[in-house]
Amino acid sequence: MTQTIFIKLPSFDISGQVALVTGASSGIGEHFAQVLAAAGAKVAIAARRADRLAELARAIEAGGGECLPVACDVTDRPSIVAAVAAVEARLGKLSILVNNAGVVVSKPLFEHTEEDWDYVVDTNLKGAWMMAREFAHHLVALKRPGRIINISSILASRTIGRVPAYCAAKAGLSHLTGVLAIELARYGILVNALAPGYIETDFNRAFFQTDSGKSLINRIPLKRIGQAPDLAGALLFLASPASAYVTGATISVDGGHGVAAI
């Protein structure tokens, strides 16, 4: 006789939730917005130039989703405040922030300028902090829970040459995630980080076809470069009720690269 076991499975349902994705004009930010929309969330897509978001918004809406392009510079507090207010007014109760906006400058150490450093750290670390703070302040004032998902990197824990500011900023973002998780837990706001490994994009595709790029791929235990869809499961987990007891965590999606010997 077959025994029937009744167990309540975790819910990954984010239907009707309102999510704000920064840095959504290209790359993995664009993909994150599409994933959240496909899962039923209403999605606000933010970048410095809203006109670059129009094509993505049309694609999401053509697929039956609801999408709002929003101009937002994460290094400018008034811009952040205006963006959060616009999302709440147009889409409804904001509940998910994907803190994805980021830039990189790749140069030998002695060619890096102070301006290069400030550009990268101000966007990737200070911008993420200001965005998270405003989002959290907005939710606390309205007595609503929420989720903050900071997009970190394998380079928060490993290092390579030519990108000192990026490595430092992502390492800082990982620690910031923990601090925010501690302070915001009392308000029902969960804060976690997603740390991608090497993900193929238009920016790096040519490099991974070179001998150096192929050598790097060979050091990844799964022996392949990551693709944007590889990040979708972890993103949805952190955005959904399934992660209700997870805060202050960093989930690596890197094909095992982070634990492999250099």
pLDDT of 1 reads 60
What value, to the nearest 5°, has the Cα angle with vertex 92 and ends 18 and 62? 60
* 245 classed as catalytic: no
Q: Out of 119, 166, 198, 245, which one is annotated catalytic?
A: 166
- Percentage of the chain with pLDDT > 90? 88
Radius of gyration of the chain (CA): 19
Helices 114-121 + 164-184 axis angle, to 10: 30
What value, to the nearest 5°, has the Cα angle with vertex 154 and ends 151 and 155? 100
Helix (H) or strand (E) run with residue 160 in it: none
pLDDT, tens only, 198-249? 999 887 888 899 998 899 899 999 999 999 999 999 999 999 999 999 999 9
> Would the pLDDT of 3 be above 80?
no
> Would the pLDDT of 262 be above 60?
no
Q: Is the separation of the CB atoms in 41 and 156 below 8 Å? A: no
Q: Is the separation of the CB atoms in 251 and 192 below 8 Å? A: yes
- Give me the chain's average pLDDT, please: 95
Identify the bridge partners of residue 147 per DSSP, sorted by sequence position.
Answer: 96, 190
Q: Any idea which fold 18-199+227-254 has?
A: Rossmann fold (3.40.50)
Name the pTM for this structure. Answer: 0.96
- The tokens describing 145, both together, are 């829970």
- Percentage of the chain with pLDDT > 70? 98
pLDDT of 223 reads 94
